[in-house]
């Protein structure tokens, strides 16, 4: 399966509805987004802890209210043709994806430099409000957040992000009650894939933007891969 990284990060302004539309145009199976919390507790779709890189604003997400964030332009820095594209809330993403029931959503809880109290509860509440358990997976490099969200709602699928070799991975996956692992491709081996599949754990890797790398990991049986350029992998 093909996962559009931050929508279609290479083709449109990341983590915007425009980027998700672009990814869907190329028949992705999943869309990945990142979430932070605003000053007033809204779940904001943004990769960085600050708004500086991707919008025309400045400051930490945690220090801005949701209404202040909504006034920002999240498209013009990528390309002027995306001028006035807005930063979405998690609810808005789910509302949009309800029109595409075959596309699943990977929600990544960001893991620093800011750690948000109660972000797991808020994400779980939104998933529950939309009855979205079968269409979403929550991932994070913050493995404590994954443990927390599973304790809040055991029905939520969770995926372990990592960029290293992990000791006793099978036991770790079992302890955290994970549904999937999301290793960077650099640390992924065929033995890991076989080990995970033996226990019905999905293996989703990232970021793969060229066909030769895709073929290498497709050959060892990965379940999905994230890409910035879904147009290069339009297999439908």
Q: Which residues participate in catalysis according to the annotation?
A: 5, 47
- E strands, 38-169, are 43-45, 104-109, 136-140, 157-162
CA torsion angle for 37, 39, 45, 50 (degrees, to 10)?
A: -100
β-pair type (136-140, 224-227): unpaired
Bridge partner residues of 205 (DSSP) = 225
Distance CA 75, CA 42 (A): 21
The token duo for 192 is: 């890991």
β-pair type (224-227, 2-5): parallel
The token duo for 89 is: 């809330």
């Amino acid at each position: 399966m093909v996962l559009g990284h931050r929508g279609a990060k290479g083709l449109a302004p990341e983590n915007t509805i425009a980027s998700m539309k672009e990814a869907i145009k190329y028949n992705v199976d999943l869309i990945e987004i990142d979430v932070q919390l605003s000053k007033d507790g809204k779940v904001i779709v943004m990769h960085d802890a600050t708004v500086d890189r991707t919008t025309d604003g400045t400051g930490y997400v945690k220090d801005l209210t949701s209404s202040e964030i909504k006034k920002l332009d999240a498209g013009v820095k990528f390309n002027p043709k995306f001028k006035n594209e807005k930063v979405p809330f998690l609810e808005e993403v789910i509302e949009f994806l309800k029109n595409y029931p075959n596309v699943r959503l990977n929600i990544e809880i960001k893991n620093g430099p800011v750690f948000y109290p109660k972000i797991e509860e808020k994400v779980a509440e939104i998933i529950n409000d939309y009855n979205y358990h079968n269409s979403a997976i929550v991932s994070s490099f913050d493995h404590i957040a994954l443990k927390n969200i599973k304790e809040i709602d055991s029905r939520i699928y969770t995926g372990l992000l990592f960029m290293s070799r992990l000791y006793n991975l099978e036991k770790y996956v079992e302890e955290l009650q994970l549904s999937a692992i999301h290793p960077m491709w650099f640390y992924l081996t065929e033995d890991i894939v076989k080990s995970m599949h033996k226990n019905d754990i999905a293996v989703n890797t990232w970021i793969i933007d060229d066909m030769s790398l895709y073929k290498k990991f497709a050959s060892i049986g990965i379940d999905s891969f994230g890409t910035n350029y879904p147009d290069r992998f339009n297999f439908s």
